[in-house]
Structures are given as C-alpha cells and as structure tokens.
Structure 1
Amino acid sequence: MAFNHYNVPYATDNAYAKRVAYFSMEFAVHQPLKIYSGGLGFLAGSHMRSAYELKQNLIGIGILWKFGYYDQARNQDQSLQVQWNEKIYNFLEDTGIKFQINIHDHPVWVKAWYLNPETFKSAPMFLLSTDLPENDYVSQTICHRLYDANVATKVAQFILLGVGGAKLIDEIGFKPDVYHLNEAHGISSAFYLYNKFGSVDEVKKRMVFTTHTPEEAGNEKHDMYLCEKMSYFCGLPLDEVRKLTGIYDDQFNHSLAALRFARHANGVSALHGEVSRKMWNHYDGIAPITHITNAQNWRYWADKQLYFSMDESNEERFDDRKGYLKRRAFDLVADQTGKLFDHNVLTIVWARRFAGYKRAELITRDLDRFNALLSNKKYPVQIIWAGKPYPVDYPAISDFNNLVHLSKNYKNVAVCTGYELALSKRLKQAADVWLNNPRVPREASGTSGMTAAMNGAVNFSTFDGWICEFANHGNNSFIVPPVDYSAMHVQEQDQYDLDQMYEILERQILPLYYDNPAVWRQITQNGMRDVRFQFDSNRMAHEYYELMYNKQ
C-alpha cells in the first residue's frame, strides 16, 4: 500500500473522527511482537486493540526493538539468565520510508515498519528502526534494547521515538489533530513541533500527556548538557530551551517538560490523579491533570467460556472450565519447574514486573507463617511467582533468584520464567487468588488484577491504584485494610501489610475456598462482572477522546 497521505484503512466512527498519533516506548499487542517490558506496554497494547474495535482515527508510533526487552532464561542453578536474541517479524510490512534525524549532531537514518490493523486486530502502528546498513554501528544499536542501560543510548532512544515519530508523521502526511504521549519518553517531539509551528501555543493545541509515575523521583531526568549534546532539542539553543520549558537547573525533567507543553494531562487512576496534582501543583505553567483509569482489553484477555457459563448460571460448567484452565496452565509450570500442581488446591499467583516497591517476596518474610501456610493439610495452598526484573536492577534480580532458591524447598512453590503476554494469560487462568501487594501509594494504576479477574481469579491486594475504584472486600476481592501509611516507616508499613495478609489468608480466604465453594464462586463471579465494563479498555479509549482529545 502507499504510505503518502496516509489514512487509517477502515471507516472511522464519527465520534472518534479527530486524528490522533499515540506515542509509546512499548506496546504489548500480541505475544509474537516482543516490543514491551511490562505494564506500560500491556496498557498501550490494550489501547491499540480498543481503538481498532471502536474504529477510532488513531495510529500508534513506537520502536521496533531488535532484541526486545530481553529473553528471560535460566542458569544451571535455575537462577535468572538474561538473553539478547534477535527478533524476526515477517508479519510487519516494509513501508519503504527512510528519513534522517539528527542524534549527537550526526545524521541517523530511520526506517519505518508497519503493523497492519488486520494482523492482530489493533489500530495501525508504525515502528521505527535505526538498524540499517546506512548507519554506523553505534547508531544501529539505538533500537536494539528497550530501555537500554547506557544513558546516552537511552536519550537517543527518546529522540528516535519523539523526533523520529513526529518526522515520520510528516513523511506519511497523516496530519494529526492530537499528539498523545503515553509517558514522557517522546517529549523531544515537542521541540520538533516547535520548530515546525513556530510557537509553544501551536504545540500545546496539539499535545496531550499521560503520566504513569506516582512520585517525583521516579520521573526520568537527564543532564541538560548531555541532552543538548545529543541533539535532543532539535538545534534550539539552551537558553531558549530553558525559557520554553521553565527548567533552569541542570537536570532536564522529561515529565515536567511534557506537562508544560501539553494542553491536557492525566493520571491513570483516580488516586493517581490526586497524587499527581499534589505532586506537581507547586510548579507553574503545567497542564490541568485529570485522571483516566487504566483498563485492559476484555475481548483479548477474558476467558469467554467462563463468562458464558456464568451468564447462564451453569455452576457445574463454570467450575469445570476453571479446573481445565488451571490444569492447562499447570502443564506449563510442570514443564518449566518439574512441579506437579493439583487443580483442586487453592492457587495463589504473584506475577508482574519485579520492582522493589511491588514487594514480590513480602509473603516469605515471615518464614514460620509461610511454612505453616504451605504445610497446611486442612487447607492446602500452591504458590506461583513469575515476572521480569529490569536486566540491571540487581536488587530485583536478587529477589527473583532468592525466590527460585526458596522454591526448591517446597513441592507446592514454583517460579516461572518468560513472563510475557502468553504466560501472563495462562497464570491468570491458573490463579484462584491474584496476589498484589505494592507499597501504597507507589502503584499508579497496576492492571494485572483486571485481567486476572477476567479469567476467574479473585484479587487479594493492598489498597492502591485501580483497586481503590474496584474493590469491595469479601464481595469481589480481598483488601488489606488501608491505614495512614504516611505516618509509618517503610519497615512498619511492610510489617503491617504482611500481618494483615496472613490474617486475611488464614481466617477468610482459605476457609471460604474450601468450606464454602458456592460463596467463593460468587465472589469470583462478582469480580468478573465488576471488571467487565468499567475496566475494559473500550471504556478507557472512549474516555481519552472525551476528556483529552476532543477537549480544547
């Protein structure tokens, strides 16, 4: 197909007529396209699927990561091994488009690949690559590893997404009404657009920004002089950059710049919207911050047979289907770990990106209670962990490896590798209880529990992120009772959450599951119903048009 004067290749719904370019460093659209690391990608992938379902006039702009995030394998002792394997995608179309952008005062060739919307039933997507023979080796490596640990390479990646994405849009003649930055990685596009349109007001008219970070220290900052040296500011002198962004110290704060260039911004849950407004309200000139709670694509994630059985009130078929889903997932666990799990046993799953504040190993910190839980003959329990730490986040890797070594002491504990879309779905189907225990209020939204509920798992969580809008303790989920954590030291907070988790597990969850299966089934189904529409990404994609794109 021809890519000049590009239009989305399907009739768009009039309610979603505005042309939108959605920039994201990662997209988890489908398992074969490995250009994502975790929640941000899962969210963006669901957004692309819903944009397609709703026939929105939206395109995705991302990067074709040659080696993906990384492949999670094992060393001889079962501990984590990071592998970088080249990915080959014959389903992407060559657009024939090549152009140059400046990185480090040096012209770098960029090629655009196209994901046809019919391939995975997603909005059309353009993926950028510098892995071309026309480039020197260092330039080729810009698109090799998602979130490269080398600072200069990471800044170059941000330029590729922002400047490269904005220039690509000009190359294909798409002419967006809205440039939507999913996180601040692509804010270099604002400098490109400033050069193009000649004023900040013209950029603001077109730019909206979604922040996913609930604390100021977590927002990306880079040395201002490094950014200038890397051509991040599209040739603008530093004095002008400072005036445009209002950033006068030596650290370029990507999120702060995005908040000042955007006309609207949003957090990704009601709580995160509040936290973000408090976090940024002492800065002047920032966009108003609303919230649009993250969601996941029901059509892609949900087990439809579970829903059919529930809708028909066929309890026997519902239980049979959940049992089958557990057995099928346990085959994967057995293949990886040699552990044979029983589908009749309550199964707890903790699976998501490994990061310190998510506290993967919290439940193991009281080893006496952990041992008692796992050796309980009356109410037996199985636990599965999975997730990818950032490849140079050594504390998170250490947590992962410690869990692997701990699991060797138990027949009913397993740690899986290769946590990507496919395994994520299987483990959600395996779970009776989906354990989520981030340190409040560190989780901006967190969406894994949504897709767990769509597959017949009950959320068991601290009160943070999206859960605050969903949870009804004992009715559709189980929640650690929130307290004023701000008055606690971190150690006190962790101890409180740990004690509460065991109390709820031992006194409520286990007796209910085994002694009152009909009530347990009802709680499961309440969660499935409550997540069905409110946390389907079609609702979210609609709200982006309503609250961000169409709003002047």
Structure 2
Amino acid sequence: MTKEEIFGYTPDPQYNKAVAYFSMEFAIDQALKIYSGGLGFLAGSHMRSAYELKQNVIGIGMLWKYGYYDQFRDLNAEMKPMFVEKGYSFLKDTGIMFTVPVHDSPVHVRAYLLQPSTFGSAPIFLLTTNLNENDEQSRSISYKLYDSNEATRIAQSIILGIGGAMLIDKLGLNIDVYHMNEGHSLPLNFYLYSKYQNLAEVKKRVIFTTHTPEAAGNEEHRYALLKEMSFFYHLQDHEVKHILNLEGDSLNYTVAALKFAKKANGVSKMHAEVAREMWKGNPGICDIVDITNAQNKTYWKDDELEKALANNDDKAIVARKKEMKRQLFKVVADQCGKIFDENVLTIVWARRFAGYKRADLMMRDWDRFIKLVFNADYPVQVIWAGKPYPEDYGAIEQFNQIIRRARPLANCAVLTGYELALSALAKKGSDVWLNNPRMYREASGTSGMTAAFNGSINLSLPDGWVPEFAKDRKNSFVITPADNNLSNDEKDHREAESLMDTLENTILPMYYKDQKKWLSIIKTAAADVAPAFDSGRMADEYYKVMYNV
C-alpha cells in the first residue's frame, strides 16, 4: 500500500515527522468494539485529533474477535459478562500476512486498515491472529482484550509490539517515532534492537506514555517465561538485563520502557510528579515530562448546546440540557423500568469499575444517602454505569451490590453496556459528573472533560487532571481530600462526608434556588475546558514536546 492509499490526505508540514502510535485499545466509534475504558478513549481521541490536524500519524492496534466483553444482566438483573463474536465489514483487508515468532513458533498475523474516511481518524492498522492458518492456541491470542491467561497476555504484547513493527517494515514506511501508549507494546523495542544493534539508536526513535500511578499496577513477568514466549525476539534474557542494566527475576514493562525511550510522559502534571518519584530509583531511565490527557471535542460535544453556549443563551442552554436528559432517561426506563424527570438534579457516576474509584462512596453512610434520595425539597436522581474487568470478582460484586441497593429506589438506576454511546448519553444527560477516586490513584481521568463539554458540572476530588482545571464553585465543585496519612477506611469516611456535605449544602440549593449561578458554572467550565483539554492541544503538544526533539 502506498502512503497516499493509507492516509488519503497530505500531512501538514508542521506535523511531517512520521509517527507510529502503538496502543492495545482504541475507542474510535461505538461500532468498533476493541476497547475497554479510559486508555482506549484517550487513544481514540488522539487519533481523531491527529486526523483533524492532518498529522503524519498511524495507529497500530489489535482486532479483538470478542472485543473486551459485552455487559448483560442475568436472571436476577445482575451483571453478566458475555463474549460475542464481532464482525466489521468497514475494515479494509490489506492483504498483508506475515508470521511473528511466539513461543519459538511462527504465528500468522493479518493486517486490516481502519481508513481515515470511515470515522474521521488517523489510519489505524489492526492485527489479528484469528486465521485458518493458525492452530486454536495461536488464534486465541487476538480473541479477548486483556485475556486473563498470563501466557496469552504476553503473546498479545508480542503481536502488538513485534507484529506492529514488522508490519511497518512490510509497508515500507519510514517511521521516525515509535510511540508506546502504555507498556503493552514493549516487545517492539527488542525488534528495533535486533534491527539497529544499539540501544542509543533505539532510544532515538521511541517515546513512552505511562498511565498507571502505582508500582503494583505496572505489568511484569518472569524473565524465564518471557524468554520462553519469544518476548525478547532474538535476544537472550541475560542480554536484555545487560543492555538495560536490570537485575532480578522479573521484567517490569514500565521500567524497561523508560530505559528504551528517549523521553516519556505522565498524563497530568500530578501524575508526572508521582511517576518521577515512583521510578527515580532506576538508573538509566529517561526524563518523564507531563502532557495532560485530553478528549476530542468535535466527537463528544453536542452541537445545539455548543451553539447555545456560544450565544450565551440561557434559555436555550436549559432547554437543550433537558432534552439531553430525556435521551438518557429513555435508556434508564428501558433497562430499569424507572421514569426519571428532566427537572430533577441528576448525578452520574460512570467509568471503569475498579475498587479505588469507589463507585459506592455516596452510599457509605446509608442513612444519609437514603435521606438524600428521599429529600422532597431538593430531589435527586442517581445513575451508575461502568465495566469492571470481567474476572475482577470484587469489582463485579461491588457493581451488583449497587444494583441490589438501588433496585427499590425509584430515583436510582444502574445501567449496563457502558461503551462510547452510553458514555456520551451519560455525559450529556447528567447535571453533575461525580468522580471520587482515592487520591493519587487517578493518572488523569478524562471523563470529566467530556462532561464539561456537555454542560455537566464536575464534582470531583482534586486528582489527575482536575487540579489543572478546577476552580471550586466557579467551574466545578471540589471534594476536600482527607489527610493522606490516614488509613484508607478513615479517608473513605471523611471524603464521603465531604462529598455529601457539598451535595447537601452547596449543589442542591444552588441547582434549585440559584439557576443563574448554576448556569454561570456551566458556561465557565465550557470556556475553561477547551481548548486546554481538547485533544487537538494534546496531539499538537506531543509533536512539539516529544516527537520533534
């Protein structure tokens, strides 16, 4: 394929340096289910903005047969993960097939292209092993995003990293920068090392974005297993240790990526500080700067609300916001049999379900929560949505416990199927976007950006991107964090109290008694969130700070 066939456009000269962006997931459109959550949403927005700016960027990802998983309900209306085969006629078969060594055996890989014109993104090549030429074990590598089997997970990284780099060579593309979005594509570096036989030559070409602000969450595996799986391409494990000055029995993907890259970035100012502190004890790592994540406003915004905001038309803002709430409430009625009222303040907690995100923090003081939801003077409606990892049984139980507790409450609902389409409805249909993770655990947390595009006010702890944006009671509401030296239980208690105090004493009275002030916060947030947190800024910043240096 020629470069013209791949892009369909001529890159802008200021973005002429050729970049390959490796990511295990991309959330480009509801129709293409190859993502799980925030990492994919971020990658999707990056590719959309790269297209809008006409950057010389291609994406390298995986074509997952079953996607992440489909979220349904069982006979008790509780969450049930299901794996349903997907098919995509809109992807272009490049006709390119090649083999990648996995476990010292050749695994056949085929490349498909998501063309820029399909959804308005930079071109993205998607790799699959689900081919007749492979045995079942090899085919299963590209079945499930983040497969729970350790060997399969390692093989997925091999196909993404080494397979992606092989594809680039087969296409004859001269890539200047290989951008690893998180550490999943780490084997790419071992392929490049075998090509250039020099760490300095690899470092000239590789940059790395880290997303996980705690050491335990960064993937690592035993050298012996990685060597057995052909993770190091043609290198021996003792050579890897020597090249990267590493010791021990396990390889940490993030540490290795920081040693292979010329430069790395955290995804918010706060996260970059945490990352620098977390990895500073490792000699030979690259600098870690901050490039704050962002979301693509063109994709996420509502055009009518955008027009009303631009015209400073309060009446139109209120009318459109109610219409967007009604659209969300159709889903509530369909899934839960509950009729919500567009005139009632609606709080939404919706994101990936993980323990540290504390989806049930509002419910910690159950009596206080019940008092809140039965307050006739200041009525509220609460919606939860999100996907736990399909084998994170603790998070699934938390999800189901919220379902059980919300079921008898006519103004509380838990929605399933949290993907791009429902995410957009939730952001457009909420009045308050609730974000209450444990502090310093949220690297960025971009969902609040898209909420602010759509007239939903952030109620958040000052973690991730929030300190760079939030001005309490001017463009958002900030929950006061507890002393970090306290136990998790005590922090949960105090931050739940602060959350409920803010709702009861500030948010509810303002929404029902001071519409002018409420609308002022909506308008200030919309003005403050873009362009600073539009991914056009982010995609441009990557060129200026990372690619062109």
**Shift of residue 223 of structure 1?**
1.3
Q: 1:340 is paired with a residue of what secondary structure? A: coil
**Shift of residue 328 of structure 1?**
1.1
Give the Cα–Cα distance (whole angstroms) in 2 for the partners of residues 246 and 360 of structure 1.
41
Q: 1:316 is paired with a residue of what secondary structure? A: helix
- Is 1:491 the equivalent of 2:501? no
What is the match of residue 524 of structure 2?
526
- Is 1:294 the equivalent of 2:299? no
What is the match of residue 383 of structure 1?
382
What is the match of residue 51 of structure 1?
50
What is the match of residue 279 of structure 1?
278
How many pairs does the alignment contain?
549
What is the match of residue 436 of structure 1?
435
What is the match of residue 414 of structure 1?
413
One-letter amino acid of the structure 2 residue matched with residue 71 of structure 1: D
Give the Cα–Cα distance (whole angstroms) in 2 for the partners of residues 243 and 6 of structure 1.
42
- Is 1:240 the equivalent of 2:239? yes
Give the Cα–Cα distance (whole angstroms) in 2 for the partners of residues 195 and 474 of structure 1.
55
Q: 1:505 is paired with a residue of what secondary structure? A: helix
Q: 1:482 is paired with a residue of what secondary structure? A: coil
Deviations 1:205-234, CA, capped at 9 Å, x for gaps: 000000001111110011111110000000
What is the match of residue 113 of structure 2?
114
Give the Cα–Cα distance (whole angstroms) in 2 for the partners of residues 376 and 11 of structure 1.
58
What is the match of residue 503 of structure 1?
501
Contact 2:267 2:443 (C-alpha < 8 Å) held by counterparts = yes
**Shift of residue 282 of structure 1?**
1.2
**Shift of residue 539 of structure 1?**
0.2
One-letter amino acid of the structure 1 residue matched with residue 81 of structure 2: V
**Shift of residue 91 of structure 1?**
0.2
Q: 2:204 is paired with a residue of what secondary structure? A: helix
Contact 2:71 2:79 (C-alpha < 8 Å) held by counterparts = yes
What is the match of residue 19 of structure 1?
18
One-letter amino acid of the structure 2 residue matched with residue 138 of structure 1: Q
**Shift of residue 305 of structure 1?**
1.1
Give the Cα–Cα distance (whole angstroms) in 1 for the partners of residues 537 and 135 of structure 2.
45
What is the match of residue 82 of structure 1?
81
Q: 1:22 is paired with a residue of what secondary structure? A: strand
Q: 2:505 is paired with a residue of what secondary structure? A: helix
Give the Cα–Cα distance (whole angstroms) in 1 for the partners of residues 56 and 428 of structure 2.
33
Q: 2:127 is paired with a residue of what secondary structure? A: strand
One-letter amino acid of the structure 1 residue matched with residue 250 of structure 2: Q
What is the match of residue 422 of structure 2?
423
**Shift of residue 92 of structure 1?**
0.1
Contact 1:8 1:58 (C-alpha < 8 Å) held by counterparts = no
Give the Cα–Cα distance (whole angstroms) in 2 for the partners of residues 7 and 391 of structure 1.
35
Contact 1:5 1:173 (C-alpha < 8 Å) held by counterparts = no
**Shift of residue 391 of structure 1?**
0.2
Contact 2:482 2:494 (C-alpha < 8 Å) held by counterparts = no
Give the Cα–Cα distance (whole angstroms) in 1 for the partners of residues 8 and 17 of structure 2.
15
**Shift of residue 3 of structure 1?**
4.9
**Shift of residue 72 of structure 1?**
0.3
Give the Cα–Cα distance (whole angstroms) in 1 for the partners of residues 280 and 199 of structure 2.
21
Contact 1:132 1:140 (C-alpha < 8 Å) held by counterparts = yes
Distance 1:4 1:309, change over 3 A: closer
Give the Cα–Cα distance (whole angstroms) in 2 for the partners of residues 541 and 378 of structure 1.
46
Give the Cα–Cα distance (whole angstroms) in 2 for the partners of residues 186 and 287 of structure 1.
18
What is the match of residue 473 of structure 1?
472
Q: 1:488 is paired with a residue of what secondary structure? A: coil
Give the Cα–Cα distance (whole angstroms) in 1 for the partners of residues 257 and 236 of structure 2.
19
What is the match of residue 322 of structure 1?
321
Deviations 1:12-47, CA, capped at 9 Å, x for gaps: 111101000000000001110000000000000000
Q: 1:234 is paired with a residue of what secondary structure? A: coil
Contact 2:194 2:234 (C-alpha < 8 Å) held by counterparts = no
One-letter amino acid of the structure 2 residue matched with residue 55 of structure 1: K
Q: 2:445 is paired with a residue of what secondary structure? A: coil
- Is 1:199 the equivalent of 2:198? yes
Q: Could you tell me which of 533, 543, 546 is aligned with 1:545? A: 543
One-letter amino acid of the structure 2 residue matched with residue 540 of structure 1: M
Contact 2:22 2:160 (C-alpha < 8 Å) held by counterparts = yes
Give the Cα–Cα distance (whole angstroms) in 2 for the partners of residues 246 and 217 of structure 1.
21
Q: 2:474 is paired with a residue of what secondary structure? A: coil
Contact 2:531 2:537 (C-alpha < 8 Å) held by counterparts = yes
Contact 1:382 1:412 (C-alpha < 8 Å) held by counterparts = yes
Give the Cα–Cα distance (whole angstroms) in 2 for the partners of residues 128 and 108 of structure 1.
12
**Shift of residue 5 of structure 1?**
9.2
Contact 1:4 1:173 (C-alpha < 8 Å) held by counterparts = no
Distance 1:5 1:204, change over 3 A: farther
Contact 1:347 1:433 (C-alpha < 8 Å) held by counterparts = yes
**Shift of residue 246 of structure 1?**
2.2
Q: 2:108 is paired with a residue of what secondary structure? A: strand
Q: 2:293 is paired with a residue of what secondary structure? A: coil
One-letter amino acid of the structure 2 residue matched with residue 502 of structure 1: M
What does 1:25-44 correspond to in 2, within 5 Å?
Answer: 25-44=24-43
Give the Cα–Cα distance (whole angstroms) in 2 for the partners of residues 13 and 367 of structure 1.
56
Give the Cα–Cα distance (whole angstroms) in 1 for the partners of residues 37 and 6 of structure 2.
30
Give the Cα–Cα distance (whole angstroms) in 2 for the partners of residues 465 and 106 of structure 1.
42
Deviations 1:154-200, CA, capped at 9 Å, x for gaps: 00000010000010100101111000000000010000000011111
What is the match of residue 258 of structure 2?
259
Range moving further from structure 2, 235-244 or 410-419: 235-244
Q: 2:285 is paired with a residue of what secondary structure? A: coil
Range moving further from structure 2, 460-469 or 6-15: 6-15
Contact 1:4 1:171 (C-alpha < 8 Å) held by counterparts = no
Give the Cα–Cα distance (whole angstroms) in 2 for the partners of residues 5 and 206 of structure 1.
23
What is the match of residue 358 of structure 2?
359
Deviations 1:389-425, CA, capped at 9 Å, x for gaps: 0000011000100011111120000000000000000
**Shift of residue 8 of structure 1?**
3.0
**Shift of residue 9 of structure 1?**
2.6
One-letter amino acid of the structure 2 residue matched with residue 372 of structure 1: K
One-letter amino acid of the structure 2 residue matched with residue 81 of structure 1: K
Q: Percent identity?
A: 54
Q: 1:82 is paired with a residue of what secondary structure? A: strand
One-letter amino acid of the structure 2 residue matched with residue 448 of structure 1: S
Q: Any stretches of 5+ residues in structure 1 without a counterpart? A: none
Give the Cα–Cα distance (whole angstroms) in 2 for the partners of residues 157 and 443 of structure 1.
25
Range moving further from structure 2, 389-398 or 487-496: 487-496
Contact 1:6 1:173 (C-alpha < 8 Å) held by counterparts = no
**Shift of residue 483 of structure 1?**
4.6
Deviations 1:243-266, CA, capped at 9 Å, x for gaps: 122221111100100000000000
Contact 1:6 1:172 (C-alpha < 8 Å) held by counterparts = no
Give the Cα–Cα distance (whole angstroms) in 2 for the partners of residues 261 and 140 of structure 1.
30
- Is 1:170 the equivalent of 2:166? no
Give the Cα–Cα distance (whole angstroms) in 2 for the partners of residues 313 and 162 of structure 1.
48
Deviations 1:473-506, CA, capped at 9 Å, x for gaps: 0000000123541x11111111111010011100
Q: Any stretches of 5+ residues in structure 2 without a counterpart? A: none
Q: 2:7 is paired with a residue of what secondary structure? A: coil
Contact 2:7 2:115 (C-alpha < 8 Å) held by counterparts = no
**Shift of residue 4 of structure 1?**
7.9
Contact 1:28 1:45 (C-alpha < 8 Å) held by counterparts = yes
**Shift of residue 330 of structure 1?**
0.4
